[in-house]
Chain A
Amino acid sequence: MSNHTDSNPVLISADEIKPASPELETVRKKLASATGKRYWRTVQELADEPAFGELLQREFPRGAGEWLDPVSRRNFLKLAGASMALAGLAGCTRQPIEQILPYVRQPEYLVPGKPIFFATAMPFSDYALPLLVETHEYRPTKVEGNPQHGASMGATDLFAQASILDLYDPDRSVNITYKGEPRPWGEFLGSIRGRVLYHNANKGAGLRFLTRATASPTFGSQMAAIQQTFPQSKWHRWQPVHRDGARAGSKMAFGAYYDPIYKFDAADVVVSLDGDFLSGSWFPGFVRYARDFMSRRKDPDKGMNRLYVAETCPTTTGAKADHKIPVRNSELEHIARALAAKVGVAGAGGGQINADQQKWVDAAAADLMQHKGKSIVVPGVFHTPALCALAHAMNAALGNAGQTVTYIDPVEIAPVEHLQSIRELVDDINAGKVETLIIIDGNPVYDVPVDLGFGDALKKVVTSENGMIVQLAIYNNETSEYATWHVPMAHYLESWGDTRSFDGAVTLMQPMIAPLYGGKSANEIIAIFTDQPDSSGYDMLRAYWRSQHTGDDFEAWWRRSLHDGYIANSVFPAKQVTARLGAVPPPPAVDPNAIEIIFRPDPTIFDGAYNNNGWLQETPKPLSRGTWDNVAYISPNMANEFGFFVLETDGIATSDSQKNVNADHQSDSQNVIEITLDGRKVKVPAWPQPGHPDQAVSLFLGYGRKKTGTVGAGAGYDAYSVRPMTSQYVGSGSIQLTKDHWDIAITQGHFTMDTREPVKAASLQQYLDNKQFAHNPEEEPKEADSLYPDFRQKGWYKANAWGMAIDLNSCVGCQACSVACYAENNISVVGKYQVQRGREMMWIRIDTYYAGDPANPSVYFQPLPCMQCENAPCEGVCPVGATVHSTEGLNDMVYNRCVGTRYCSNNCPYKVRRFNFLLFADYTTPVLKLMRNPDVTVRSRGVMEKCTYCIQRITAARINAEEQNRYTEGRIDIRDGEIKTACQQACPADAIIFGDINDPNSRVAQLKAQPRNYSVLSEVNTRPRTTYLAAVNNPNPELEKA
């Protein structure tokens, strides 16, 4: 069966396709001999393996078009025959009669069929992202950033985009349970009130609260009240991705906890010491910082900022760096010291660094010294206190403090160092001091340091005579089985509340929908312990703010704040603080032979909280492009030493094709290594990641869950199982190659385009010398050299002509656009097995390209939606006219006409079309119906689908403009920026610009007029409406010379 191929012009036999094992040396030689710049996605591609050639020629990766399930062809034909007969019958029946259920009393502001937007905020880690949520008849369907709020500027991250799916997740906890048995709320309340009386008597001795970090002022005031009533109770905090090092570093430098606020738009030079501010929301302020930082790289003619990155684990921040060095974790502090000494920090002491690092430090230091007050040193949030303190001291010495870096009080209420806090709790439990433990949110049994034995400790509480554990959680998780009472928690889109954004501004949360599964908010549970046990979440919130805003104008002020989603002028003022570097502990010794085990939050699953989210599971991790699993990054060198230089084996048959259909398609088989840390072991799939430092392995948290929903079950390995207290983010251990293999679903090799230079890049100097560097007039065909119909002659494109420009310089590869597209366009999740076969449905993929030596390559991200070609190869080959040109220049996709010949995707040079090989859309789960965007068809099996520039948004804006009678010069006057595609709206870096190219003043038209603007595959003359602005980086000429 595997011999059957679909319309593949270059056939090679399965024997020729061997697991890729290009020796690193061959690769290096090839790179050295290559003329000009060479981009690669996989090392296999570098080695020109035959399999890669096949991948190029294929419409979908190997196996996507084949029937793989263990059903014989005979059975299949039987089924097909039967279904055809049924389909024939079904065609003759009439549409069933549908019903309309109008409101009994229609809410005042509701217009059926029109979305309403409400402001709220999504708590993440210890701060929040301000949002606007689109609701249809009060069903939240899409999350956008709050454009009025400085922490969002209208953009979001992928977690916020995916939170819609979390809200409706049918796997959420639905019952209040007592020792696993469902119980009514009243019984729970009675039981807890008994506890409250008991603890009233003993002043709260034995009463403990464990929550995640929170920035909610109302929650804070409740906890303060509890402290008054129960003076002996304690409030502990734990979240696994904590920033204890940064906290302690602040104390070391300033004597108190402060949060740094960076002004990247004001910085000419940024030096990041593993500070991955362009990667994700675990770096507070990521969304705003990406916008600010990239605002200085949009127009090379106006000069650019420069980014130096030293990183211990490849991140997207490193990918955007002008100068990046991969360093081992223990070396980083030495680098920081060397840099600090150079920029004039007294008492830093020189670090011991090697020649390459010295060069980097020298250049960075010189640049910093030249840009005093206009530079930033960003420390990583997962590092030692000393590193953070050194960075604060450098910013002070460079005069950046107060200019590009300011300090504010922490947004976390009553900030603590989390490791210390959880350790105290476990010590108290072990000492028998804890009787009642209230666990709000979080999943400590799973994610507390393994050597604390949290599960055993909880068992001690539960089995003790008077012990009770109450858990409030969204899911039934690992912790639930230890809880006496489990209460379903309300999602943030279901609850009233307040929180703060990273800059301290108070953002208010309002529910979009009543709790779907009867959940309770943290405020409501905590209220049971206060003197107002029955007040609602809204009452508590309002009462708190009534006490804070005492003016007569409260009502107006309150309504205004709720409407805006934040309280005006509540940003924390900058503190006048001076970093004083006292006694910095000596740097850790660098043992060149030790293997460093690095722990990092997973880029899409975070700490495990989003483990059951299908959109996030299927979103490729920005660098490895893996889905549905976590891998362990090792360096290509290390992989070479292990003798398994299998960087990327996608599309490769690992066994004889006749042997087993499934084995033939086990395309992503990776070697398994065993990690040993402090005597604990975990087996992980090793992934040689270009740019990873040697003698180190990076593990990602959040997978290997023992108790989660149906989506996350069985995915990945559990990095927490080897993460002890002493090695929260780095430890020293050993690794050993095993004989096992692990099938992962890596998308990096999928949808490869046949082009030499998909991305174009140059240095700033090269750009200034030749602004047309992205163009090669010899290769670019003329518009007339085409046999395609010229729609202009028919008078099309005259009114509005939509186009898109994507700035490769700005894209940080964060994937917010991809997830936003899932939410906006009802895209289906297909699962790991299907992704391995190349059947993922993601409409806008982000291709990652590397250039240069695999040890430290340059990295480029290229978001790739449908190009909306003017000469569209897909249109001509459709036998049923299901994909046709619109008068505005889009390639319309008519789902109801599609019969699934797949000719179009076969003919698409960009490979942006996605086919529903099976019924991927969930038509049956009732709750998911509420989630769908009602303006977009839910596609069924056998239908091709693709991006259409969010045609539903275009139509809505056009109708709106026409009804307001807005016309200019024969065009409908849709204001520039009035239509934002979902990807554009979500993008934190403002990298995607959509608009009317007929309007010369539109942003998109102006970007397309720039010399950097180029079309991918321009040589095939498809005339795509989506074009790219070539990347220009800004390397230090001093370093370039060397």
Chain B
Amino acid sequence: MPQLFHRSANTLARASILGVVLLLTGVAAALFQLQRSPYVTRQHEVLDQPIPFSHKHHVSGLGLDCRYCHTSVEESSFAGIPPTKTCMNCHAEMWTSAPLLDPLRASFRTGQSIHWNRVHDLPDYVYFNHSIHIAKGVGCYSCHGPVDQMPLMYEENSLQMEWCLNCHREPEKFLRPKEEVFNMTYHQPTPAHPVEWDGKQYYSQVLLGDDLKQQYHVRTVADITSCSTCHR
């Protein structure tokens, strides 16, 4: 009986085993990457909002402090979205006929809330607390990015757990003096641009971070990576 398959079929068969393994690995890797991709995390994605509010205009243009609107950021888990009344403090006087602000005036008139789309949305089983991060010297910038340069709000970081852990595992790389927390133009110390804190000049973030960790009683890495820090 003649051979049905050419001898090379043996090699092909062996190669195909490897091929299947590679394919499965590839699919798995792709799924993992998909799961981390901006498609899933909505990183850098600008969401439609009822009013195209510009942080860039209000923060770097007008110089408003973060806390003028996000009032509870220093005392509560929730930073707070300003009530319509806060906007009307100024907009009762200015841009009073701008069609862009129609929803704002409608809200004030009818007593119905403005329905903002949530940009920074953690899963419901994550219990993030703004106030403690502020108290420990984590700048707004560290998580929210250059908000002062955002004409429309988007998520700068993925907000996935591995991203949180980057900092919880090495907080000294990110901490800044408390007085710089709301400063959007703060830069970490470098040999060229030292940072002065507590009467000392710092030329490196690690040295500054270590001192801040001490001074601000940042709990140990084991403490702040315990599951119950964020999940309960």
Minimum C-beta distance from B41 to chain A (A): 8
User: A103 touching B115 by the CB < 8 A rule?
Assistant: no
User: A799 touching B219 by the CB < 8 A rule?
Assistant: yes
Contact check: which of A103, A113, A959 meets B78 at CB < 8 Å? A113
Docked Cα-Cα span, A859 to B196, in Å, equals 69
User: B135 touching A113 by the CB < 8 A rule?
Assistant: no
Stretch at the interface among A28-36, A91-99, A554-562, A986-994: A91-99
In the complex, chain B residues 47-97 whose Cβ is within 8 Å of any chain A Cβ? 47, 72, 75-78, 80-85
- Interface residues in B, total, Cβ within 8 A: 47
Contacts of B118 in A (CB 8 A): 97-100
User: B228 touching A795 by the CB < 8 A rule?
Assistant: no
User: A111 touching B124 by the CB < 8 A rule?
Assistant: no
Query: Known: A113-B77, A114-B76, A892-B231. Contact between A102 and B223, CB under 8 A?
Result: no
Docked Cα-Cα span, A795 to B223, in Å, equals 10
User: A886 touching B228 by the CB < 8 A rule?
Assistant: yes
Find the A residue at minimum CB distance from B122.
Answer: A95
Contacts of B75 in A (CB 8 A): 111, 114, 963
A936 at the interface (CB under 8 A from B): yes
Interface of chain B: mostly helix, strand, loop or mixed: loop
A776 at the interface (CB under 8 A from B): no
In the complex, chain B residues 173-231 whose Cβ is within 8 Å of any chain A Cβ? 217, 219-220, 222-223, 226-229, 231
A70 at the interface (CB under 8 A from B): no
Find the A residue at minimum CB distance from B218.
Answer: A962
B162 at the interface (CB under 8 A from A): no
Query: Known: A892-B231, A963-B131. Contact between A887 and B222, CB under 8 A?
Result: yes
Instruction: Type the 1/0 row for A94-128, where 1 means its CB is closer than 8 Å to any CB of B.
Output: 11011111111110000111100000000000000
User: B228 touching A892 by the CB < 8 A rule?
Assistant: yes
Docked Cα-Cα span, A795 to B222, in Å, equals 9
Contact check: which of A105, A895, A962 meets B132 at CB < 8 Å? A962
Q: How large is the interface on A (under 10, 10 to 19, 20 to 34, 35 or more residues)?
A: 35 or more
Contacts of B163 in A (CB 8 A): none
Docked Cα-Cα span, A794 to B222, in Å, equals 9
User: A895 touching B226 by the CB < 8 A rule?
Assistant: no
Minimum C-beta distance from A101 to chain B (A): 4
Find the A residue at minimum CB distance from B117.
Answer: A97
User: B83 touching A102 by the CB < 8 A rule?
Assistant: yes
A466 at the interface (CB under 8 A from B): no
Contacts of B83 in A (CB 8 A): 102-106
Query: Known: A104-B107, A935-B232. Contact between A99 and B217, CB under 8 A?
Result: no
Query: Known: A111-B75, A799-B223, A955-B232. Contact between A896 and B125, CB under 8 A?
Result: yes
Contact check: which of A97, A105, A796, A894 meets B85 at CB < 8 Å? A105
Contacts of B107 in A (CB 8 A): 104
Query: Known: A114-B75, A894-B227. Contact between A937 and B125, CB under 8 A?
Result: yes
User: A113 touching B76 by the CB < 8 A rule?
Assistant: yes
User: B231 touching A896 by the CB < 8 A rule?
Assistant: yes
Instruction: Type the 1/0 row for A913-953, where 1 means its CB is closer than 8 Å to any CB of B.
Output: 00000000000000000000001110000000000100110
Docked Cα-Cα span, A100 to B119, in Å, equals 9
Query: Known: A112-B80, A887-B223. Contact between A103 and B232, CB under 8 A?
Result: no
Docked Cα-Cα span, A97 to B119, in Å, equals 8
User: A105 touching B232 by the CB < 8 A rule?
Assistant: no
A884 at the interface (CB under 8 A from B): yes
Docked Cα-Cα span, A886 to B81, in Å, equals 33
- The residue among B34, B75, B127 with the most chain A CB atoms within 10 A of its own CB is B127
Query: Known: A111-B75, A114-B75, A795-B222. Contact between A959 and B131, CB under 8 A?
Result: yes
Nearest 6 pairs of A and B residues by beta carbon = A113-B78, A101-B113, A113-B76, A103-B83, A102-B81, A106-B83
A95-B121, A100-B117 known, 17 other contacts, Cβ within 8 Å: A99-B117, A100-B81, A100-B115, A102-B83, A102-B84, A112-B76, A113-B72, A114-B72, A887-B223, A892-B227, A895-B125, A897-B227, A948-B232, A962-B132, A962-B135, A965-B217, A967-B217
What are 6 A-B contacts defined by CB distance under 8 Å?
A100-B81, A104-B108, A795-B220, A884-B226, A888-B223, A892-B231
